């Protein structure tokens, strides 16, 4: 038993040397996790689309119409950059991408309000981005409700101030967005990306290591410990995993603690709870990476094999297309990967302030994945040793 | 030994290499098809429906129950719980069992009719931006309707005739027209760009690897000999077989997007086919440029995957590029997918005349012209035939 622990330590130490000797692995283990979160946070730092340029077409040419357009323009979301004479002119601006939506007031806008008739205003939005559509429809709706309330009061005849308010709005309502108060893109998207970066760089880095061993045919995976030491597959797997995980403990402080702090992402999680989550997540991700690194038969193949999965995995975490609306079969597939419970747990803890009890399910899943992938990775290394270890091949390399 | 030379011989050799290489079959054939199936299946509904919410009804009158029923009838909302306390509902929200909470205050119906202006408060979980904003729309509509139905009673009491009521309650209505995507279909919105994005990522990496692996296998100079030492012949023979395979993938994408899912294709088949073709050759050119800049297989490949992944964010189809830092806006023009996005919006989505997209097609072709400048360096790379780790 004592030998087992010494073996783990020995493998751990040797693997550290291998990691730091390989520039490709240093790039994937340290530079990419350092730089990527910065890039992503920088990309989404503005959080919301403000001042979306729109054009107004006021066919009524009335004081009421101009007032309405001013009210729309006052909203922070849109910016009425031009007033077009007719729809054709406005459409041309839309085609040239000078504006992203058109606000159209019909020619009887003011007249119909005066006659107590309902009057529609029209918004035509370009759908190249949902956010443009949302911004223009929301701000025009706000303006219509506000102006509508004023009109209603004057029609129902003024009473006391309190009565006026009640006829403006019989029932008040308030919207409180939880957890992501600026309702921003970074606060929603970047936490998931951070967790995924950890898993994907581990996959790429470990696959590069395995691919390199394959290329060189020096069988270092096993042979580093083969000379004089008889390390079994389980010891080898655990030793290596501890090496990678311990390095990633440092990396995850940067990714999960410093980055949200620098970029003001929601961060209300308890550091102790985050630690309790990080341990199983790193172990599960490491063993998972070691398992699938089996397929990396050349040094460069890790990229070709696994890069595209990042896109699918981010969708499978259910952060974009909401988890609740995802087909059951895909939910099952999603749970194969540590990133899914990882993102769920991290968003719950860090964005929503959940306690350890609330994320009990995710943490359990991560520990189960750790065990499962540990067994698979051990089998994978057993296969390695069987196939490549000089002792089994009967071709002990001379020297050393 | 293969003594044949010329473009055709190189192309035939390339097809054989592709068919016998597991990594090519996985990366070029399986990866895009798998992504296609997964994403189309995931978003098949178009819009998420029946998102669970909780209602905390402290009033429990017929008015408040009617409000809840009305809300439940909306397609996007599903009242999964009627909670007794806000605390309970909030805990359900933390466990992702519900994505929004609507609270109806005590004495809601009494206060509403007596003009005391009771307040409905709704909370959405905006850690999920999409479900958060979808639920916001439904909840807001429900609150406005509640206000209107109370206003209806008050107005009737004041002697306003029924035909006058709606103009009084809502003098101005907003008719919003989401041009070309009136269903606000998310699948249309995302898959039309995510799939070409995956294609760009794959094309970029496999162009680098197609040339890089020759040097790694020590066959660079042999390849140059096959091409009669002409880099043009070598590049044609090397890259055109891939172009053909990528076009087949693009056709598959188009058939699923435009024929199976009936997504808008307003200018017909040809402009988009040309768009995909331009995207593919521009991306291949970018791959060549990368290998020209970093004549090291691994480094060029790492850069290719870095660019390929960042493209998804920098194209601006999810978060608009205009809302990002202006420096990122400038960088985005170096990515073929950005120009493809413009072509897609103008040609497929909005159906503008080809003139509006001519500029984007031209830029994509410029990538190809630009790559010719790097052919000399690629020639050196192949002739030197030296693999660096």
Rounded mean pLDDT, A287-312: 92
Chain B partners within 8 Å of A325 (Cβ): 45, 48-51, 131
CB contact under 8 A, B305 and A177: no
Q: Tell the burial category of A376 from Cβ atoms under 10 Å away from its Cβ (0-12, 13-18, 19+).
A: middle
Cα-only R_g, chain A: 30
From the list B130, B147, B166, the residue facing A169 with the nearest CB is: B147
Task: Give the per-residue pLDDT at B195.
Answer: 95
Higher pLDDT, A314 or B132: A314
Alpha carbons B324 and A47: distance in angstroms, whole number: 9
State what percent of residues in chain A have pLDDT above 70.
Answer: 90
From the list A113, A166, A185, the residue facing B117 with the nearest CB is: A166
Pairing of strands B100-104, B119-125: antiparallel
From the list B124, B306, B323, the residue facing A49 with the nearest CB is: B323
Dihedral (Cα; A21, A22, A25, A29), 10-degree rounding? 20
Shortest alpha-carbon distance between residue A321 and chain B (Å) = 7
CB contact under 8 A, A170 and B205: no
CA nearest to B343 within chain A: A128
**Beta-carbon neighbour count of residue A341 at 10 Å?**
27
CA nearest to B177 within chain A: A124
Q: Tell the burial category of A368 from Cβ atoms under 10 Å away from its Cβ (0-12, 13-18, 19+).
A: middle
From the list A116, A176, A212, the residue facing B123 with the nearest CB is: A176
Q: Is the Cβ–Cβ distance between A55 and A83 less than 8 Å? A: yes
Shortest alpha-carbon distance between residue B173 and chain A (Å) = 5
At A219, the pLDDT band (50, 70, 90 cuts) reads low
Q: What is the mean pLDDT of chain A?
A: 86
Task: Give the per-residue pLDDT at A89.
Answer: 92
Please write the tens of the pLDDT for every residue from A134-153. 888 888 988 888 888 888 77
CB contact under 8 A, A39 and B126: no
CA A358, distance to chain mean position in Å, is 21
Q: Tell the burial category of B164 from Cβ atoms under 10 Å away from its Cβ (0-12, 13-18, 19+).
A: middle
Q: If we measure between CA atoms, which residue out of A153, A57, A46, A64 comes closest to residue A101?
A: A57
CB contact under 8 A, B174 and A123: yes
Residue A180 pLDDT greater than 80, yes or no: no
Q: How many CB pairs below 8 A link A and B?
A: 332
pLDDT digits (tens), chain B, 389 positions: 455 788 899 999 999 999 999 999 999 999 999 999 999 999 988 888 888 999 998 888 888 888 888 888 888 888 888 877 888 888 888 888 889 999 988 888 888 877 788 888 888 888 888 888 888 888 888 888 787 777 777 777 777 766 667 777 777 878 888 887 777 888 888 899 999 999 999 999 999 999 999 999 888 888 998 888 899 999 999 999 999 999 999 999 999 999 998 898 988 899 999 999 999 999 999 999 999 998 889 999 999 999 999 999 998 888 888 888 888 999 999 999 999 999 999 999 888 889 889 999 999 999 999 999 999 999 999 998 888 87
From the list B117, B139, B171, the residue facing A148 with the nearest CB is: B171
CA nearest to B213 within chain A: A300
For B158, residues 6+ apart whose C-beta sits below 8 A from its C-beta are A156, A157
Task: Give the per-residue pLDDT at B1.
Answer: 45
CB contact under 8 A, B51 and A132: no
All domains in chain A, ordered by first residue? 2-45+183-393 (no CATH), 52-168 (3.40.1710.10)
For the entire predicted model, the pTM comes to: 0.90
CA A42, distance to chain mean position in Å, is 14
CB contact under 8 A, B96 and A68: no
CB contact under 8 A, B323 and A212: no
Chain B partners within 8 Å of A218 (Cβ): none
CA nearest to A192 within chain B: B127
Shortest alpha-carbon distance between residue B291 and chain A (Å) = 14
From the list A24, A170, A305, the residue facing B147 with the nearest CB is: A170
Architecture field, domain B51-169 = 3-Layer(aba) Sandwich (3.40)
Task: Give the per-residue pLDDT at B2.
Answer: 52
- Which pair of structure tokens corresponds to residue B370? 């630009």
**Beta-carbon neighbour count of residue A166 at 10 Å?**
25
- Domain ranges, ordered by start, for chain B: 7-43+185-384, 51-169
At A397, the pLDDT band (50, 70, 90 cuts) reads very low
Range from A331-340, A370-379, B260-269 carrying the lowest mean pLDDT = B260-269
CA nearest to B348 within chain A: A128
Chain A partners within 8 Å of B311 (Cβ): none
Pairing of strands B100-104, B77-83: unpaired
Range from A36-45, A346-355, A378-387, B309-318 carrying the lowest mean pLDDT = A378-387
Backbone angles phi, psi at B54, to 5 degrees: -120, 145
Residue A104 pLDDT greater than 90, yes or no: yes
CB contact under 8 A, B301 and A303: yes
Q: Sheet containing A119-125: which strands, arranged edge to edge?
A: A78-84, A52-58, A101-105, A119-125, B172-178
Q: Is the Cβ–Cβ distance between B193 and B317 less than 8 Å? A: yes
Residue A183 pLDDT greater than 80, yes or no: no
- Which pair of structure tokens corresponds to residue B63? 């008015």
CB contact under 8 A, B305 and A172: no
Task: Give the per-residue pLDDT at A399.
Answer: 39
Q: Is the Cβ–Cβ distance between A207 and A302 less than 8 Å? A: yes
Q: Is the Cβ–Cβ distance between B254 and B277 less than 8 Å? A: no
CA A325, distance to chain mean position in Å, is 18
Task: Give the per-residue pLDDT at A287.
Answer: 96
At A370, the pLDDT band (50, 70, 90 cuts) reads very high
For A125, residues 6+ apart whose C-beta sits below 8 A from its C-beta are A100, A101, A102, A132, A133, A136, A137, B176, B177, B178, B179
| Interface predicted TM-score (ipTM) of this complex, two decimals | 0.89
Query: Which residue stretches of chain B are H helix?
Result: 7-20, 22-24, 31-42, 62-73, 86-94, 108-113, 129-157, 162-169, 186-216, 220-226, 231-254, 269-293, 297-314, 326-332, 336-343, 358-372, 375-384
Best mutation target, B31, B67, B174, B330, to test chain A (most A CBs within 10 A): B174
Chain A partners within 8 Å of B117 (Cβ): 165-166, 169-172
From the list A124, A176, A311, the residue facing B121 with the nearest CB is: A176
CB contact under 8 A, B127 and A39: no
For B2, residues 6+ apart whose C-beta sits below 8 A from its C-beta are B9, B13, B226
Range from A126-130, A393-397, B252-256 carrying the lowest mean pLDDT = A393-397
Alpha carbons B324 and A346: distance in angstroms, whole number: 26
Residue A83 pLDDT greater than 60, yes or no: yes
């Amino acid at each position: 038993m004592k030998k087992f622990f010494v073996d783990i330590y020995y493998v751990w130490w040797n693997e550290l040397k291998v990691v730091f000797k390989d520039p490709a692995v240093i790039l994937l283990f340290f530079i990419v996790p350092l730089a990527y979160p910065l890039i992503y946070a920088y990309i989404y730092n503005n959080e919301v689309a403000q001042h979306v340029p729109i054009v107004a077409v006021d066919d009524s040419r009335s004081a009421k119409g101009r007032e309405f357009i001013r009210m729309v323009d006052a909203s922070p979301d849109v910016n009425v950059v031009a007033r077009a004479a007719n729809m054709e002119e406005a459409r041309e601006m839309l085609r040239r991408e000078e504006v992203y939506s058109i606000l159209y007031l019909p020619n009887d806008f003011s007249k119909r309000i005066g006659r107590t008739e309902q009057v529609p205003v029209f918004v035509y939005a370009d759908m190249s981005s949902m956010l443009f559509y949302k911004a223009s429809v929301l701000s025009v709706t706000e303006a219509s409700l506000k102006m509508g309330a004023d009109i209603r009061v004057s029609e129902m005849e003024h009473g006391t101030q309190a009565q006026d308010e009640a006829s403006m709005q019989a029932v008040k309502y308030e919207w409180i967005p939880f957890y992501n108060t600026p309702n921003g893109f970074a606060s929603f998207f970047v936490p998931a990306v951070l967790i995924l970066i950890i898993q994907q760089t581990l996959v790429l880095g470990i696959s590069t290591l395995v691919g390199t061993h394959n290329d060189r045919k020096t069988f270092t995976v096993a042979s580093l410990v083969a000379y004089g030491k008889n390390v079994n597959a389980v010891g080898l797997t655990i030793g290596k995993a501890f090496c990678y995980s311990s390095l990633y403990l440092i990396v995850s402080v940067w990714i999960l603690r410093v980055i949200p702090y620098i970029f003001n992402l929601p961060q209300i999680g308890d550091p102790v709870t985050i630690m309790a989550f990080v341990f199983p997540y790193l172990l599960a991700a490491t063993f998972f990476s070691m398992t699938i690194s089996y397929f990396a038969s050349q040094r460069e193949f890790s990229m070709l094999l696994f890069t595209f999965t990042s896109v699918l995995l981010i969708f499978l975490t259910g952060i974009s297309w909401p988890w609740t609306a995802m087909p059951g079969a895909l939910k099952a597939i999603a749970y194969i990967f540590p990133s899914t419970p990882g993102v769920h747990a991290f968003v719950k803890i860090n964005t929503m302030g959940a306690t350890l009890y609330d994320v009990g399910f995710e943490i359990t899943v991560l520990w189960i994945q750790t065990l499962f992938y540990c067994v698979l990775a051990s089998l994978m290394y057993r296969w390695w040793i069987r196939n490549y270890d000089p002792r089994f091949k009967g071709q002990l390399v001379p020297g050393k | 030994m293969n003594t044949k030379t010329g473009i055709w011989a190189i192309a035939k050799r390339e097809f054989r290499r592709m068919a016998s290489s597991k990594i090519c079959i996985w990366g070029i054939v399986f990866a895009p098809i798998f992504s296609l199936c997964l994403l189309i299946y995931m978003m098949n509904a178009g819009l998420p429906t029946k998102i669970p919410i909780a209602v905390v009804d402290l009033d429990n009158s017929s008015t408040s129950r009617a409000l809840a029923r009305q809300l439940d009838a909306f397609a996007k909302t599903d009242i999964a719980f009627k909670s007794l306390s806000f605390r309970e509902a909030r805990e359900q929200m933390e466990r992702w069992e519900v994505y929004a909470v609507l609270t109806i205050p005590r004495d809601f119906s009494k206060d509403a009719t007596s003009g005391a202006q009771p307040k409905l408060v709704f909370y959405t979980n905006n850690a999920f931006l999409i479900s958060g904003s979808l639920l916001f729309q439904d909840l807001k509509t429900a609150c406005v309707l509640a206000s209107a139905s109370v206003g209806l009673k008050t107005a009737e009491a004041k002697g306003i005739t029924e035909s006058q009521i709606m103009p009084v309650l809502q003098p101005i209505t907003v008719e919003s027209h989401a041009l070309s995507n009136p269903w606000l279909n998310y699948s249309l919105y995302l898959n039309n760009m995510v799939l070409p994005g995956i294609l760009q990522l794959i094309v970029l990496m496999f162009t680098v690897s197609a040339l890089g692996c020759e040097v790694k296998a020590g066959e660079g100079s042999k390849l140059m000999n096959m091409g009669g030492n002409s880099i043009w012949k070598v590049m044609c023979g090397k890259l055109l077989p891939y172009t053909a395979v990528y076009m087949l993938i693009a056709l598959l994408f188009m058939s699923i997007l435009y024929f199976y899912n009936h997504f808008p294709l307003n200018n017909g088949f040809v402009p988009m086919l040309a768009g995909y073709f331009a995207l593919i050759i521009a991306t291949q050119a970018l791959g060549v440029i990368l290998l020209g800049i970093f004549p090291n297989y691994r480094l060029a490949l790492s850069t290719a995957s870095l660019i390929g992944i960042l493209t998804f964010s920098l194209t601006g189809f999810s978060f608009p590029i205009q809302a990002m830092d202006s420096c990122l806006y400038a960088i985005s023009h170096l990515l073929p997918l950005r120009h493809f996005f413009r072509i897609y919006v103008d040609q497929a989505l909005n159906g503008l005349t080809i003139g509006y997209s001519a500029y984007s097609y031209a830029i994509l072709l410029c990538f190809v012209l630009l790559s010719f400048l790097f052919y000399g360096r690629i020639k050196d790379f192949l002739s030197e035939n030296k693999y660096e780790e």
